Amino acid sequence: MGLTRGALALAAVTIAAPAAGCRARSDAPDAGPVVAPISDDAGRPSRLLYPAAPSSFVELVRDARKAVVSIHATTPVKSGPAAMFPGAPPTSSDAALGTGFLVEAAGTHVLTNDHVIADVVDLRIELVDGSEYPARIVGRDARLDLAMLSVEMPRLPTLRLADSDEIEVGEWVVALGNPFGDEVTASAGIVSATGRDAPGSLVTGTALGFRTYVQVDARIHRGNSGGPVLSTAGEVIGIAVATGDRPGEISFVIPANRVRDALPQLKQYGRVQRSWAGLWGAPVTRDLATQLGLAKVAGAVVTKTEPGSPAERAGIRAGDVVQSWNDRPVDHRNLPSLIANAPAGKPAKLTLWRDRAAVDVNLVPEPMPE
């Protein structure tokens, strides 16, 4: 049908200059002089307000593109990125699988989506300069849609994972893809939702529902699924996940902190075993803290517990505020990860705020149900 690898021009995006008054990181390119500091609702210093966000992402893309790779199978597969072009049959065969990017994790590794490399054994990566290297699967986590590959080649360029809990709605991001190996594509947008305030994330038996993904309005299609989504500082805020190729669909990003949590187990065991507690948590608001007699706005309030769950057996009930996990301070953001990464079967000490007093309970996490 005349479609070639170069036809990826379909994914090219013209990036207009962002409007004035948008927030940007202090090391963003072309950021203007500081206008005024701003504070969050609690009066804490927050990001600085700039008169304009970057007028161009050229330098950011140029720096990052060397670490964005195309992942290929040794033999053609069906329904790869080639099938995303208009008029292409859904069973188009191509050796290209999708995008990944290089990270440093005590060795050079490639991160991508699990669905990109699923059911493919022999893999190789291709850099933007055309060089190719064999890659082997180190670990897979279908629940998070994350895969880790190892590349036996030193001194390859890598990208750094950001602290995704620090991103804010309205920040500019750039999604990079390299589905075919001949050119890195870019699309820009803003963070539409951070996902970090979604209730119950990771603690009820579901590792990552769509409400706990970062949502962006940058275009993410089948070709750049598995690729990095970058902040204006050039750090990876998460991994792109393609949900479809129809224009206007919401784009989702696996948060970098969830990826970072999974890497040690992927590397050591080839899989991720998460724990669960069977409780639902929500943020503690200022009004709730006053109502419950808390000294400060902190912790995670329990909204419900699952019948027969570790939380119920530990005596935790709705209305309790979890203040610490094994003496580590807790809030609604870090509690899901603390539970998910806790060793199953090993008791954890939780400090709860109940009836205007601190109460300690022991909770024994269980393996997260499949």
**What pLDDT shows up at residue 144?**
87
Q: 97-121: b or e for each residue (b if 16 or more CB lie within 10 Å)?
A: bbbbbbbebeebbbbbbbbbbeeee
**What pLDDT shows up at residue 24?**
40
Identity of the residue numbered 125: I
Domain boundaries, given as residue ranges, for the chain: 56-272, 275-367
Give pLDDT tens digits for 96-132.
Answer: 688 999 998 767 899 999 988 887 878 999 998 889 9
- Least confident span in 1-15, 74-88, 169-183: 1-15
Residue 206: pLDDT band (50, 70, 90) is very low
Q: How is domain 56-272 classified at the CATH fold level? A: Thrombin, subunit H (2.40.10)
> pLDDT over 70 for what percent of the chain?
72
The model's pTM is 0.72
Matching residue, tokens 């700039």: 50
Mean pLDDT of the chain: 79
Per annotation, catalytic residue among 114, 145, 261, 320: 145
No. of helices (H) and no. of strands (E), the chain: 6, 22
**What pLDDT shows up at residue 49?**
42
Residue 369: pLDDT band (50, 70, 90) is confident
Residue 77, pLDDT > 90, answer: no
**What pLDDT shows up at residue 327?**
94
Give pLDDT tens digits for 216-249.
Answer: 999 888 778 899 999 999 999 999 987 655 555 6
Provide the token pair at 129: 């300069």
Residue 52, pLDDT > 90, answer: no
Residue 92, pLDDT > 80, answer: no
Per annotation, catalytic residue among 70, 225, 251, 275: 225
Regarding the domain with residue range 275-367, which homologous superfamily does it belong to in the CATH classification? PDZ domain (2.30.42.10)
The reply to whether 115 belongs to the active site is yes
Specify whether the CB–CB gap between 61 and 172 falls below 8 A.
Answer: no
Per annotation, catalytic residue among 72, 109, 115, 332: 115
**What pLDDT shows up at residue 47?**
47
Specify whether the CB–CB gap between 47 and 23 falls below 8 A.
Answer: yes
**What pLDDT shows up at residue 164?**
92
Provide the token pair at 16: 């207009």
**What pLDDT shows up at residue 362?**
97
Long-range contacts of 186-189, Cβ-Cβ distance < 8 Å, separation of 24 or more: 186/13, 186/15, 186/57, 186/61, 187/11, 187/13, 187/218, 187/219, 187/220, 187/224, 188/13, 188/15, 188/57, 188/218, 189/216, 189/217, 189/218, 189/219, 189/251
**What pLDDT shows up at residue 243?**
65
Give pLDDT tens digits for 269-306.
Answer: 999 888 989 988 889 999 999 999 999 999 999 999 99
Compute CA 348 distance to the chain's CA centroid, rounded to the nearest angstrom: 27
